[in-house]
Amino acid sequence: MYIAALQYLYKNFLYVQKFNINRILYKGVFMEEKQNRSNKIAKEMITFFYCLSIVFFISLINSIGAYAETTNEKQKLPETYALILQERGGAQEQINGADIGLKTDSGIKFDNKLLQDSINKLSCSDDGKVVQSGNATLVLVNNNYVISKEVYGNKINKDILYKSIVKAIQNGDTTLNLEAANCYESSEPRFKINSPVVVSARDTLNRYLASKITYNFGGLTQYLDSSIIKDWIGVDSNFNVTIDENMVRNYVDNIANTYASSLGTSIKVSGGDNGNNHSWMINASEETKALIDNIKSGQTISKYPIYTQTSISSYFSNVGDTFVEVDKGKQHLWFYKDGYLVVEGDLVTGNESTGHGTPTGVFYLNSKQRDSVLIGEDYASPVSFWMPFIKNDIGLHDASWRDEFGGEIYKTGGSHGCVNLPYYVAKAIFDNIIPGCPVIVHE
């Protein structure tokens, strides 16, 4: 329309200029000679401005025509125009030109309300489907920790989304990546499935769960494994692995209480080579620390608790971590070496009915000898392993003549004072013990 108007003005301009020139030339024929020079100058000026005006209008028309062409080319969109929205997780939705009243005949125009309605109908705009970003997590599955993948949130900033869609339509874009356009409010997860700190935490937790610890104390056995440890361990918000020391302490206290209720808080042992009284008690504080170290190392061990001194003294703290413990009441023996249980088993101590009960106290192994014959007033008993701890009269040895051990045999059918052992128990002690090792006998 604008081009046609300019062309009309241009035509009329040429007509007027031609009329003026002819008029001047006509008058020039009848003018006097003195006017010739002035007319000549005027004619040259008119011709100059005439040519200049032609150049100006041609340039103006060409310029206007080029702008319109460029504008029309940029604004040219198909009638079926649609803007594809690329969302997190591979999902896609679209804004259809027909749904927002899109028109491009005289520039890009659309109905703003229809566009807002279309945005509100998008799944990514549905607050009920909003998912917040979340870090990778550690999940316990069948007593083994595995990593659960991080979550990328999909909460949309609708203002930014609207502006991004308008800009894309104006540019004639056919796709809009919501991530690249910063349309999401949810930030990217900090800890991901392959983050080194997450992988390290998983491996550490599983090492802790691999621990298998058997406690032996006062004739009792208590087994500790992942079924209990799993409740003690976890990670904080930065994936630092933690052990609940209070829960470990409660577990150790339970052992101590069980031990006390079974044997008494203090077991006095009179007599012995040094003539002192002795007693025991579990050191819950130190044992808690030791147990945590055992778990952190993922150890599979058999151990006895750390004992502490009571109001009298503790023979366990005196004897160290290698000793033989004989419990007459339970008719059971344990042999510890360097803090680890080597062997345990039932036994038979001295006959109580005849006054030959095995003395209680803290003694020390005098010697050890293979293939000996124990001789008394009315017996001569060959043994494979002889380990005396009270002079050369009372000691530990195998007793091949017995078919049973433990129970209440000792009360009426016990030995002459020695500690009778099954062959395998006597052999295990003999192969690992050295003279000077403490032998603790208590009721």
Specify which residues 144 forms β-bridges with: none
Residue type at 3?
I
Task: Report CA-CA distances (Å) from 63 to 11, 169, 320, 350.
Answer: 18, 27, 105, 125
- For strands 438-442 and 323-327, give the pairing: parallel
How far apart, in whole angstroms, are the C-alpha atoms of residue 310 and residue 259? 14
How far apart, in whole angstroms, are the C-alpha atoms of residue 441 and residue 396? 11
How far apart, in whole angstroms, are the C-alpha atoms of residue 213 and residue 341? 12
Residue 373, SS3 per DSSP: strand
Q: What angle do CA 367, 369, 375 make, to 5 degrees?
A: 100
Q: 416 an active-site residue?
A: no
- For strands 323-327 and 332-337, give the pairing: antiparallel
How far apart, in whole angstroms, are the C-alpha atoms of residue 305 and residue 288? 9
Residue 89 backbone dihedrals phi, psi, to 5 degrees? 80, 5
Task: Report which of 153, 241, 232 is spatially closest to residue 198, judged by C-alpha positions.
Answer: 241
* Active-site residue, selected from the candidate residues 278, 332, 397, 442: 397
Helix and strand element counts for the chain (H, E)? 11, 19
How far apart, in whole angstroms, are the C-alpha atoms of residue 134 and residue 129? 15
Residue type at 157?
N
Element (H, E) at 139: strand 137-140
Structure-token match 């869609």, residue found = 165
How far apart, in whole angstroms, are the C-alpha atoms of residue 435 and residue 388? 9
Residue 383, SS3 per DSSP: strand
* Active-site residue, selected from the candidate residues 124, 183, 418, 437: 418
Q: 51 an active-site residue?
A: no
Specify which residues 220 forms β-bridges with: 217
How is residue 431 written in tokens? 């192969």
Catalytic residue list: 397, 418
